[in-house]
Amino acid sequence: MARLIAARRTAVVPRGGAFARLSIEDLASPVLLACLADAGIRPDQVDEVILANALGAGGNPARRVALAAGLGHVPGLTIDRQCAGGLDAILLARALVDSGAADVVVAGGVESTSRRPLRLRTDPEGGLPVAYDQAPFTPWPDRDPGMADAAEALAQRLGISRAAQEAWALESHAKALKSNHSAEIVPLAGVTQDAFPRRLSPGLLARAPIVAGSITAATAAVAADAAAVCLVVSDRIAQGRGLAILNGATVGGNPEEPGLAPLAAIQRLWQGEPLAMAEIMEAYAVQAIAVVKGAGLDPALVNPGGGALARGHPIGASGAILAVRLFHGLQSGRGLAAIASAGGIGTALLVDSSGA
């Protein structure tokens, strides 16, 4: 059984902040090296580096990060499953290890929203290229909503009010402000803590700009820069250390309701047995509320150190950040991480501190 024996991340910094000048390899290579040092693993022992990246322009960022970290023998594999990619990278690492194809795999995600390339769509008729921001997530334009519009449609269908969303956001920030995440954060560019958590008030929430219907700037996670890396190894290497990766699943759902996609993934892994901790992605407050309620999770166990509403959303890294939080926060028992992705994709991970 594959085990997770080290997990680190950078702080999460909103776009245009302290990480704005850093490249993808600037963000991720120090985190990779910190994981190896934490676990006492030599660079030459690493079989593969799998990293998610959603906004880059190709060029195999995982290979670039491996080279920057001095792992020239590692080919590197970059995946794009948008928000779910960082968690899916860990599931791929688990599959390599459990199959016997690898003993040591570095897995996670990295995103520089600040340095993302500009996107232009060429005109097949020879006209000028047209700039665009969101890539298509389905082949059907009429079934490919913007993420904020999809969140608002979910709020309307499930009757989740703006007040409920604001209450969730307020609590996310409050929990983050009370937490010390220094053990999981690799200092970078002078930043040692997440930059975004703040003291929200009803007045501030009421003045937040509306994004779509009941969705406001306070109940949608801000675009951000960060990297998160986990070290997934075989039992032979782990020797009882870390968290056992019990199971994982990625499921395709309705692309018009991406926020609900994690429910099917969670159902494949978890049948209601006791959990000690759950990390649920907060791209939007409404999405987190819908997943927690739909899966029957105890809200008291969810995101105990705050969620993405209080951190920010570095797309390719966000799923891996959930795993890093589990690694450092789960003291005993089982932990669950789950994330939704554009296109109607849901990924979930189940770990155990004892491996039972």
Q: Which one-letter DSSP state was computed for residue 313?
A: B
Q: What is the H or E stretch that residue 77 is in? A: strand 77-79
Among 83, 173, 181, 230, the one annotated catalytic? 83
Using alpha carbons, list the distances in angstroms from residue 292 to 170, 289, 311: 17, 5, 19
- To which H or E segment does residue 338 belong? strand 334-341
Task: Calculate Rg over the CA atoms of the chain.
Answer: 19
Pairing of strands 77-79, 48-52: parallel
Provide the token pair at 77: 């594999």
Strand 215-216 versus strand 210-212 pairing type: antiparallel
- 83 counts as catalytic: yes
Is residue 181 flagged as an active site residue?
no
User: What's the rounded Cα separation, in Å, for the pair 347 and 345?
Assistant: 7
Q: Which of 35, 173, 313, 328 is catalytic?
A: 313
Secondary structure letter of residue 97 according to DSSP: H
Greatest Cα-to-Cα distance within the chain, rounded to the nearest angstrom: 61
Residue with tokens 């999809």: 150
SS3 of 229, please? strand
Beta partners for 284? 220
Query: Which residues are identified as catalytic?
Result: 83, 313
